[in-house]
Structure formats: C-alpha cells, structure tokens
Structure 1
C-alpha cells in the first residue's frame, strides 16, 4: 500500500492537474456505480452510459476546477488558523457550491442532449436540495480538509468523501424533475 501511495504522490508532483482529473474520474465513477447498484431500485437495469457521464464530469470538470479553485483558495488564504479555515469553508459553500451545482446539472443536461428549458427546470427543482445537502457533508469535511490535509492532497481527500456524496449527486442528477426527493444523507 505504501508503494501505491508513493506512486500517487510522485504522479501528483509530476502531473498535478492530470492526476487530480483521474482521481475525480475515479470518485465520480465509483459513486455512480454504488448509487445504481445499492441505493436505487434494483428493478432498473444498470446504465453504463450514466456512469460514463458521471465519470467524465469528474475528469473534465471536477478534477480541473478543483485543482485551480483549491489552489487559488490556498494561495489567497494560506495557513490553518481557525479564521482562515472558516473563511475557506464559507467561500466554498456559499460561492463555489452553487456554481458547482449549476455546472453539474448543466453538464449532465448537455451530454444528455436536453434543452435549456430542461436545464432551468432541473435547477429550479434540485439546485437548492443539492446545495443544502452539500452543507451537511462538506462543511465538516472541508473544515478537516482546510485544517489538516496538505494542499497537494486536497482533491484526493475530497474525492474520498465525494464517493459517498456522489451517491446523492448521482441520484439527484439522474432523477426526473417530477420524481420524489433524494435519499437522506
């Protein structure tokens, strides 16, 4: 296991952006697989393309934006003092979280070939739930993240937590606008 960790850190040093993109691809893929296999009704057949959509979102959007966003936060707000950590969490959850939600639903909308009207309906139906659901997970997770996790490992830590959170996101992102509420976190 230590060899794998050393190899990951070597890749992170050599290719930080690409490594974080692949880390996010893994987190989003695993989260969707778990959502489809263990959370949603078992009478639905497994949707491979749904997993591809979620994984590609992780690779193309989450990994790259996470690399730059958390790098920016760390450069503008260095350190781990409680006020710095709290400021980073507040910025993440009040600014980045809604942007992320809009991008997540927008990406799924686009790759599924849906209309702008479908996108606005989805935002109206589910963005508030996604943002508020995020608070339950990410406020405590990011408090730990910004206080104790080295900046280079932030996205790995986030993706570890993200696997569980992606079960919620996968359900929310793939439910029809008029379906029932998502499962409790």
Structure 2
C-alpha cells in the first residue's frame, strides 16, 4: 500500500492536473456504479452510458475545476486558523457549490442531447436539493479538509468522500423532472 501511495504522490507532483482528473474520474464512476447497482436497483437495466457520462464529468470538469478552484482558494486564504477554515467552507458552499451544481446538471443535459428548457427545468427542480444536500456532507468534510489535509491532497480527500456523495448526485442528476414542474 505504501508503494501505491508513493506512486500516487509522484504522479501528483509530476502531473497534478491529470492526477486530480483521474481521481475524479474514479470517484464519479464508482459513485454511479454504486447508485445504479445498489441504491436504485429496480427493474431498470444497468446503463453503461450513464456511468460514462458521470465518469467523464469527473475527469473533464470536476478534477480540473477542483484543481484550479481549491488552488485559488488556498492561495488567497492560506493557513488553517479556524476563521480561515470557516471562510473557505463558506465560500465553497455558498459560491462554488451552486456553480458546481449548474455545471453538473448542464454537463449531463448536454451529453444527453437535451434542450436548454430541460436544463433550466432541472435547475429549478433540483439545484436547491443538490445545494442543501451538499451542506450535510461537505460542511463537515471541508472543515476537516481545510484544517488538516495538505493542499496537494485536497482533491484526493474530496474524491474519497465524493464516492458516497456521488451516489446522491448520480441519483439526482438522472431523476426525471415531474411534468408539473416542467411547466412552471
């Protein structure tokens, strides 16, 4: 295990953006696999394209934007004093969280070839749920993250927790908007 950790850190040092994108690919793929196979169950067959969409979101958007966002946040608010940690958590959850939700739903909408109207209906129906659901997980997780996790390891830590959270995101992202909400 220490050899794997050493290789990960070597890759992280040599190719930080690619490494973080790959860890996000892994986290989002695993989250959707868990969602489809163990949470949703039912009569629906496994949807491989859904997993590819979620995994590619992790690789193309989550890992890359997370690399830059958390790097920016750490550069502007260095340190681990309680007020610094609380400020980072507040910025993450009040600014980044809704932006992330819009990116997530937008990416899925685009990859599924759905309309702008479908996207805006999805945002109206589910963004609030996604943001508020995030608070339960990410406020405590990011308090630990910003207080104790070295900046270079932030996205690995996030992706470790993200696997469980992605079960929720996968479910929410693939939930159909009820007809009555589409017309509002």
- Paired position in structure 2 for 1:18: 18
5 Å-filtered alignment, 1:110-129, equals 110-129=110-129
| Structure 1 position 51 matched with structure 2 position 44 | no
Determine helix, strand or coil for the equivalent of 1:79. Answer: coil
Mapped partners of 1:15, 1:103: distance in 2: 24
Mapped partners of 1:42, 1:27: distance in 2: 23
| Alpha-carbon offset, residue 178 of structure 1 | 1.6
User: What residue ranges of structure 1 are gaps of 5+ in the alignment?
Assistant: 180-185
Determine helix, strand or coil for the equivalent of 1:94. Answer: helix
| Structure 1 position 103 matched with structure 2 position 103 | yes
Determine helix, strand or coil for the equivalent of 1:78. Answer: coil
Q: Deviations over 1:109-157 (max 9, x none)?
A: 0000000000000000000000000000000000000000000000000
| Alpha-carbon offset, residue 41 of structure 1 | 2.8
Mapped partners of 1:175, 1:87: distance in 2: 33
TM-score by length of 2: 0.96
Mapped partners of 2:77, 2:153: distance in 1: 17
| Alpha-carbon offset, residue 42 of structure 1 | 2.9
- Paired position in structure 2 for 1:33: 33
Off by >2 Å, runs of 4+ in structure 1: none
Mapped partners of 2:172, 2:83: distance in 1: 33
5 Å-filtered alignment, 1:163-174, equals 163-174=163-174
Mapped partners of 2:24, 2:74: distance in 1: 19
| Alpha-carbon offset, residue 35 of structure 1 | 0.2
TM-score by length of 1: 0.96
